[in-house]
Structure 1
Amino acid sequence: MRDWQPFLGLPLWVWLFVIPAGFAVLCAVQPRQARHLLKPLWTLLDRLYLWAGVLAAFFMVTILALIVAQMIARWSSVTFHGSTEYAGYAMAATSFFALAHTLTRGAHIRVSIFLNMNRFLSLWLDAFAMLIAAITATYFARYAIKTNILSEMINDRTQGQDFVPEWLVTLISMLGNSPTKWGQMWAETGSDWIYTPMWLPQLPMSIGTVLLAVALWDYLIRLLVDRETHIHSEAVE
C-alpha cells in the first residue's frame, strides 16, 4: 500500500522490530544508565496506560447507557436506529483500550509453571515470552493501522443503520491531515448525518493494539533493567 522507506530512511520492519529489540539488549547490558534515562518515561507511560483503562471504562458505561436507551425506546415504541452497531463499536473500544492497562495489572493469562523453578530460569523465560508477545503485538498493531488506512482509501462505510454527524468525521480527520487542509475540509463539511465510515470504529483497535505493543516492549525493557517483572496481579487469592 505504501513504501515507508523514503520517509523513514529504513524499512518499516527495522523500525518496528529490530530497533526495539536492539534497544532492549542495550538496556540489559547497561541497566544503571538505562534506568536513569527511562525512569521519567516510565512514569509517563504508566499514566498513559491508566488513562487508556479509564477510556475503556467509559466505553463500558456507554454500552450500559445504550442498553438502557434501547429499553426505553422499545417501551416508548420509538425506533432507535443503529443501536446494535453503536453498542458493538463501544464493546470493541472497551476491549482494545483495556489491553495495555490490563497487562500492567497482571490480568492477562500468563502460564507461570516454568517461571517458578528458579530465579535465573524465571528471568530469561519471562524475557523470551515478553519478546515473542511484543513482536506479535507489534505485527498486529501494524496491520490494524493498515486496515484503518485501507478503509479510508476505499471510503468503506458501514452496512448497518448507524449514522454519525459529518462534522464529527471531519473533526477526527483533522488529526491525520496537514493544517493547511483544515480550512478546505470544513468548507466541504455539511450538517448532515452520514453512514459511519469504517475507519472511525476501527480507530480504537489501532490505538489499543499500538498501546499494547508499546506496553510489552516497555515491560520487557523494565524486566531486563531491574531483573524482575513489573507485572503483578491484583487478584486476591
Structure 2
Amino acid sequence: MRNLLNNLYRLGGLLSALHLTAIMLLIVLQVLGRVLDKLLLWVGFNPLGLHLPGLAEISAFLLLGATFFGLAYTFWQGGHIRVTLIIQRLPLGLQRWLDSLMLLIAMAITGFALGFSVLLALDSYAYGDLSIGMVPVPLWIPQVGMSLGLLWLFIALTDALFSLLSGRITQLNTDAAQE
C-alpha cells in the first residue's frame, strides 16, 4: 500500500511537471513564431502569421493542472510552508497532537473544496459550459484536473494523519518523505 501511495504522489508530481513543460513549449513556439515573422519582414518577405490562438487561456488551464496535480506530491515531500517556530519547541506528544489537529482541519478544507469542485465539473459538463476566449475549451476538462488534484491531496492528508497516529512517522514533513 505504501508503494501504491508513493507512486500516486509521484504521478501527481509528474503530471504537474508535464503541465509546466507544456506551458513552456507553447510559449517558446509562440516566441519563435514571432521571431521568424520579424526576420521574414526584415529580409523583405511576407510574415507567415505564426500565432497560437488562445495561448493565454490554454496556459492558464495548464497552470491550474500543474498547481493542483502537484499538491499531494509537494505535501508528501515536505514542500508546503509550515510555521514550526513554536511547535518545534513543544514536547513530541504535543507536536503530534497539534499536527493531527492541523491535518484534520486541512482534510476538512480540502474535502469541502473537493466536493464543490466535483459539483462544478459535473455542472459544467451537464450544461456544456465553454471557456470564453479565442479557443472554446469545455470547462469540465480543467475542472476534472482540479478535482483529481484535490482528491490526491485529500488522500495524502489522510495518509499523513494515519501515519502520524499509528506512529509510522513522528513529525509531519520530516519523516513522511523518508518512508
Segments of structure 2 that go 5 or more residues without pairing to the other structure are 38-48
Aligned with 1:232: secondary structure?
Answer: coil
Letter in 2 for 1:139: F
Q: Output the TM-score relative to the length of structure 1.
A: 0.65
- Does structure 1 conserve the Cα–Cα contact (< 8 Å) formed by 2:99 and 2:172? no
Match of 2:102 among 118, 129, 132: 129
Q: Output the TM-score relative to the length of structure 2.
A: 0.85
* Structure 1 match to 2:146: 205
Q: Distance in 2 between matches of 1:147 and 1:106?
A: 30
- How far 1:230 sits from its partner (Å)? 5.1
Verify: 1:42 aligned to 2:14, yes or no: no
- Does structure 2 conserve the Cα–Cα contact (< 8 Å) formed by 1:222 and 1:230? no
Verify: 1:216 aligned to 2:157, yes or no: yes
Q: How does 1:7-26 map to 2 (within 5 A)?
A: none
* Structure 1 match to 2:42: none
Q: Structure 1, residues 193-225: CA drift from partner, whole Å, max 9, x if none?
A: xx3111012221111011101110111010000
Aligned with 2:70: secondary structure?
Answer: helix
* Structure 2 match to 1:112: 84
Verify: 1:150 aligned to 2:123, yes or no: yes
- How far 1:122 sits from its partner (Å)? 0.6
Q: Distance in 1 between matches of 2:12 and 2:159?
A: 16
- Does structure 2 conserve the Cα–Cα contact (< 8 Å) formed by 1:149 and 1:199? yes
* Structure 2 match to 1:185: none
Q: How does 1:1-237 map to 2 (within 5 A)?
A: 41-75=1-35, 76=37, 77-116=49-88, 117-162=90-135, 195-226=136-167, 228-229=170-171, 231-232=173-174
Aligned with 1:80: secondary structure?
Answer: coil
- Does structure 2 conserve the Cα–Cα contact (< 8 Å) formed by 1:63 and 1:87? yes
Q: Identity of aligned pairs, percent?
A: 30
- How far 1:231 sits from its partner (Å)? 2.2
Q: Distance in 1 between matches of 2:171 and 2:164?
A: 5
- Does structure 2 conserve the Cα–Cα contact (< 8 Å) formed by 1:130 and 1:220? yes
Q: How many residues align?
A: 162
Segments of structure 1 that go 5 or more residues without pairing to the other structure are 1-40, 163-194
Q: Distance in 2 between matches of 1:232 and 1:62?
A: 32
- Does structure 2 conserve the Cα–Cα contact (< 8 Å) formed by 1:114 and 1:122? no
- Does structure 1 conserve the Cα–Cα contact (< 8 Å) formed by 2:130 and 2:137? yes
Which deviates the most, 196-205 or 98-107? Answer: 196-205
Structure 1 runs (4+) deviating above 4 angstroms are none
Aligned with 1:109: secondary structure?
Answer: coil
Q: Distance in 2 between matches of 1:127 and 1:87?
A: 37
- Does structure 2 conserve the Cα–Cα contact (< 8 Å) formed by 1:56 and 1:94? yes
Letter in 1 for 2:143: Q
Q: Distance in 2 between matches of 1:94 and 1:56?
A: 4
